[in-house]
Amino acid sequence: MPNAVEPTLIEPLFQALQKERYVIVCTIDHETSAPNASAISWVYAPAPDKVYFAVDQRSRIVANVQANPAMSIVLIANESTYSISGKAHVKVEKLENVPLKLAVIQVDIEEVRDVMFYGAKISVEPKYEKTYDAQAAAKLDQQVMSALKQA
């Protein structure tokens, strides 16, 4: 049986992207044209048809998106693995009220595909912890996520 393909985020995925979350962002490298994957956590879905994420202004992701807007986000949620594909652009060049120089990338979703292999489900979602000052990390995460929600 083929996996489901949707034009926007289904409700469980939309809900999963209402808070900081571990995802993999896949772009096309602007120098080599090879795939480029990066793990990020400052991600937010303002609506079922778009996703925002924040990255350092100097990130290779920014240059990649500017050269080629095609990209995908790999999300593990809802007992499965999803590829969220679409076209991206820099929505905000410098995120306000955040001590770091972060850009906001907007992805206009074209397709959400369940890419989990047949006969399996995710039983435990990935967990991560910030390995630097926990209080500073929590404060920064709150600042970035609040700013993303206002972008």
CATH number at residue 107: 2.30.110.10
Domain range enclosing 115: 5-150
pLDDT score of 4: 75
Which residues, listed in sequence order, are joined to residue 26 by a DSSP beta bridge? 37, 72
Residue-wise pLDDT for 92-101, tens only, equals: 999 998 999 9
Where b means 16+ CB within 10 Å and e means fewer, 83-120 reads bbbbebebbbeebeebeeebbbbbbebeebbbebeeee
Residue-wise pLDDT for 41-91, tens only, equals: 999 999 999 999 999 999 999 999 999 999 999 999 999 999 999 999 999
Say if CB 42 and CB 144 are below 8 A apart: yes
Report the half-sphere exposure of 121 (CA within 13 A, side-chain side).
3
Say if CB 132 and CB 124 are below 8 A apart: no
Total structural domains within the chain? 1
